[in-house]
Amino acid sequence: MGVSVCLASGKDGVGRSTITVNLGIALSKRGISTVIVDGDIEGASFGLILGVDPDTPSLHECLAGKTTCEEAIIETYGVNALVGGITIEQLVNVSVAGFSNILDKLTERFDIVLVDSPAGLGTDAVTILSNCQSVVLVLTPDINSVTNTLKTLAVAKKVGTAILGGIINRTGGQYDIPSDKIEDLLKVKIIAEIGEDELVRQSLQEGVPIYAENPDSSFSKKITDIASKLVGGS
């Protein structure tokens, strides 16, 4: 039986989806059976990050009962992926009510299931957070992100989801809150700080994950470190 890890954030725009996709590729390259799941129902982006066809079967079709997750999973850049739908048609009449069943099937098949959760504390986000065994919090070093992360953290504790740590993304600004202060505020171990990297923006524009295109970039090296920590350095 595999483990499910949710990557969650208190607000959008912190790079959570990009980290999830590239972390999945990094884990797969280590020989770990991994699937990444785009759980951001209303703002799915895996398809864009991975450059897959918009008509690719998605989590939305699985939730709507139009296909099975086994049929919808694709392999790209060495990682298994269950992307989210990005068309209006795919968003109609979709609910996360059946997410727990899908997650159960995935943890039976894969060693690690990485789930990209919607930002904030809406119904979808709380449902995904409560169904995953553990969570990694993704934030940026500003007061807005830290404040909203505290709320997500409180919900994670309330629903009993284990907190693995936090990732501070897009560091390097003049007015960044120091990581040690963020750690003190959250009472959560910061497992990585990732600086701004223009190659990430380039990869997003090209629809090619940076870990696949530029494995030696500063961002990719940080992702490798995170992968090592998640699997205990194996």
Q: What percent of the chain has pLDDT over 70?
A: 96
Q: How many CB atoms lie within 10 A of CB 33?
A: 13
CB contact set of 40 (below 8 Å; sequence gap of 6+): 17, 84, 116, 117, 118, 119, 124
pLDDT band for 55, please (50, 70, 90 cuts): confident
Residue 97 is predicted with a pLDDT of: 85
Q: What is the mean predicted confidence (pLDDT) over 104-127?
A: 97
Q: Taking 60 as the threshold, does the pLDDT of residue 234 lie above it?
A: no
Give the tens place of pLDDT for each residue, 30-42: 999 999 999 998 8
CA atoms within 13 A on the CB side of 106: 30
Asked whether the predicted pLDDT for residue 49 surpasses 80, the reply is yes
The pLDDT of residue 233 is above 60: no
Average pLDDT over residues 11-28: 98
The full set of domain ranges for the chain reads: 3-230
Q: Which pLDDT does position 95 carry in this prediction? A: 78
Q: Do 23 and 62 touch, CB atoms closer than 8 A? A: no
The overall average pLDDT reported for the chain is: 95
| pTM for this model (two decimals) | 0.96
Name the least confident of 19-28, 92-101, 124-133.
92-101
Q: Determine the average pLDDT of the residues in 44-62.
A: 93
- Domain formed by 3-230, architecture: 3-Layer(aba) Sandwich (3.40)
pLDDT in tens, 56-113: 999 999 998 899 999 999 999 999 999 998 765 666 667 788 999 999 999 999 999 9
DSSP secondary-structure letter at 63? H
What are 180-207's pLDDT values in tens digits? 999 999 999 999 999 999 999 999 999 9
Give the C-alpha separation, 116 to 23, whole Å: 11
Please report the pLDDT score of residue 160 as a whole number. 98
